[in-house]
């Protein structure tokens, strides 16, 4: 099980049972025996940016985490998407909250399926408009790194490392694409 199973109906509070719903669905779901509500549990979306600095995008902005998990490790500005926002709006909000950066949002860059934890991570490229940052409480420090300066052993998450590696590979090629990965 990826996450803790749902125990009670969100509608009436009755203990749910995991079974095939009566509607012909082929996957076990949390079904309420009292009100017959079928509860669908879906992946969470993590959205963020790869903020770059300089005309050639040689530096990227990383944030040192001030929260768990992986407190003290470096990451790209990212977090869980909220209801009522698009993926790019969520990525922009997270960049504002975690880095306090001024930037121009560019296109979608990576989409990564992290099935074992029930998440999909999406990163957008962003062009920094200033090298001044005002990080929020979730960030100890926000700073720019060249590829050679990145503390690769101190990167918080596989999805961030994969996105950074792809960013610098595309930068060397002189063209940025949209990349999809399955993270084990």
Over pLDDT 70: what percentage of the chain? Answer: 98
Q: What is this structure's pTM?
A: 0.89
State residue 5's pLDDT score.
81
State residue 1's pLDDT score.
35
Task: Give the pLDDT band (50/70/90) at residue 47.
Answer: very high
Residues 77-85 have a mean pLDDT of 97
What pLDDT, in 10s, does the model give residues 87-145?
999 999 999 999 999 999 999 999 999 999 999 999 999 999 999 999 999 999 999 99
Q: What residue ranges do the domains of the chain occupy?
A: 1-41, 44-182
CATH number of 1-41: 2.20.70.10
Say whether pLDDT at 49 is over 80.
Answer: yes
**Residue 55, exposed/middle/buried by CB under 10 A (0-12, 13-18, 19+)?**
exposed
Task: For residue 41, give the 3-state DSSP assignment.
Answer: coil
**Greatest CA separation for the chain:** 61
Say whether pLDDT at 4 is over 80.
Answer: no
What DSSP state is assigned to residue 6?
A: P
Domain 44-182 of CATH type 3.30.530.20: no
């Amino acid at each position: 099980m990826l996450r803790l199973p749902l125990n009670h109906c969100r509608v009436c509070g009755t203990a749910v049972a995991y079974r095939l719903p009566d509607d012909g669905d082929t996957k076990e779901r949390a079904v309420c025996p009292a009100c017959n509500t079928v509860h669908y549990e879906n992946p969470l979306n993590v959205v963020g940016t790869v903020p770059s600095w300089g005309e050639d995008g040689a530096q990227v902005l990383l944030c040192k985490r001030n929260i768990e998990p992986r407190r003290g490790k470096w990451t790209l500005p990212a977090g869980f998407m909220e209801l009522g926002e698009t993926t790019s709006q969520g990525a922009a909000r997270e960049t504002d909250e975690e880095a306090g950066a001024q930037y121009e949002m560019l296109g979608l860059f990576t989409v990564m399926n992290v099935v074992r934890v029930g998440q999909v991570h999406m990163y957008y490229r962003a062009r920094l408009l200033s090298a001044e940052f005002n990080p929020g409480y979730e960030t100890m420090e926000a700073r720019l790194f060249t590829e050679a300066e990145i503390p690769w052993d101190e990167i918080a998450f596989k999805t961030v490392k994969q996105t950074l590696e792809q960013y610098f590979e595309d930068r060397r090629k002189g063209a940025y694409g949209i990349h999809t990965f399955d993270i084990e």
